Homo-oligomer: A and B are copies of this chain.
Amino acid sequence: MNALPATIASSAGACCAPGQAMDDGTAHDLAKVFKALGDPTRVKLLSMIVGSSAGEMCVCDLTDPVGLSQPTVSHHMKLLVEAELVTREQRGKWAYYRPTTGTLADAAKALLG
């Protein structure tokens, strides 16, 4: 379903003893996921990929709806890949992206318990 950093998956619901902050590694991993979505364009891109009936989207179909050039969209997609919110597969000329939807749900669960 997804390829979460182990620190996120293992910490779900485990935080924290009263008066004790979450450990640095977990907080860093969670913040990385949320930061990747802290931009309206990346929110739009992920929403389109999640909503795709094919289960994946070509970068060539992502540019028009957000009104940005392909290099700019590819940059945004790189941040979503690095946060493990999507996976990327190169097929011929184009890159295709699939959602790893468990990443965001697990991050929210790790934070909210």
Contact A44 B22 (CB under 8 A): yes
Name which residue of chain B comes closest to A67, CB basis: B21
Q: Is the interface of A mostly helix, strand, loop or mixed?
A: helix
Residues of A1-52 at the interface with B, using a CB-CB cut-off of 8 Å, are 15-16, 18-22, 24, 27-28, 30-32, 34-48, 50-52
Question: How many of chain A's residues have a CB under 8 angstroms from any CB in B?
Answer: 43
Instruction: Check A65–B21 contact: CB distance below 8 A.
Output: yes
> Is A81's beta carbon under 8 Å from chain B?
no
Binding site for B on A (CB under 8 A): 15-16, 18-22, 24, 27-28, 30-32, 34-48, 50-53, 61, 64-66, 101, 104-105, 108, 111-113
